[in-house]
Amino acid sequence: MAKLFSPDEPIAPDNKMPTPPLLAIRNVSNAYVSRSHGLFGKKEIKPVLHHVNLCIAEGEIFGLVGESGCGKTTLARCVMGLIEYEGEIFIDGQQECRDMSRVARNLPLTRNLPLTRNIPLTRKAQMVFQDPGASLNPAKKIGWLMEEPLVIHQLGEPEERDRRVDEMLIRVGLDPSYKTRRVHELSGGQKQRVCIGRSLILEPRLLIADEAISSLDVSVGAQILNLFRELHESLGLGILFISHNMDAVEYLCDRIVVMKQGICEESLMI
């Protein structure tokens, strides 16, 4: 039977002390600036997240559910350092830095703010997005797409990177021969497997899956859910699984938080 829990406290295995959190979200808020009447209209600050607090333990599958527009994806993007926010986010004890003070002071956001996130931290958390087709460059072959994160982070020699691509394709249920294919040759489920493998090739501690099955049909979505479970068991991954599908979240996750209008309203342990 499900029971309530506090989402901002790490869980503890039976008869053990609580483990340090893999992901700690502390008092995180987010807002964006809009104009009411076109380019020269009055600026308005519209809140999205309201003082969110969450902790995810190492190796835990944590579900975040809610209706479209409630702030789930915004929270994921804050964790990944893609947008600014107020509050604190720690990944494996290391702080992610973004500051929404410009919005709080009613100052315009700029696109050339300094990138404060360091490269090692980007390897600890990776994200799988909703639309696998939009996440992959159609001009490149699958092998190139899989190897790109290793090249960016300057990991391994060409032969080693090629071997790691082969191993990851096998791990996500694809044959290494897929390296020579292009995105348009793959089904939706195969594209999502490539996206998952591409995210895992850097060996992150935390994987964020943002509506990762919502664009797939039911049977393929079930296969991807099972893949997440297999990867969790074999790699010891912590997973933040974001969805509006309560059945999928209950099947996969250890704990669930329900978000509504940027606030975590209900917390359940399965």
pLDDT digits (tens, 9 = 90+) for 80-101: 988 889 999 999 888 765 544 4
Q: Given a cut of 60, is residue 15 above it in pLDDT?
A: no
Q: Is the pLDDT confidence value at 34 over 90? A: no
**56-75: average pLDDT:** 93
* Cβ–Cβ < 8 Å for 104, 51: no
Characterize 5-34 residue by residue with b for buried, 16 or more Cβ atoms within 10 angstroms of its Cβ, and e for exposed: eebbebbeeeeeeeeebbbbbeebbbbeee
Q: State the pLDDT at residue 133.
A: 87
**Mean pLDDT for all residues in the chain:** 85
CA atoms lying within 13 Å on the CB side of residue 249: 24
Q: What are 9's two structure tokens?
A: 């406290």
Q: Are 257 and 54 in contact (CB under 8 A)?
A: yes
pTM equals 0.85
Per-residue pLDDT of 103-136, as tens digits, reads: 444 444 333 334 444 456 678 999 999 899 898 9
Mean pLDDT, range 211-226, rounded to an integer: 93
**Local confidence band at 1 (pLDDT 50, 70, 90 cut-offs):** very low
Q: Is 54 left (phi over 0), alpha (psi -120 to 50) or beta?
A: beta
- Confidence at residue 194, expressed as pLDDT on a 0 to 100 scale: 97
Residue 99: predicted pLDDT? 45
Residue type, 261: Q
- The rounded percent of the chain whose pLDDT value lies above 90 is 63
Average pLDDT over residues 190-201: 96
pLDDT band at 267 (very low <50, low <70, confident <90, very high): confident
Mean pLDDT, range 218-240, rounded to an integer:
95
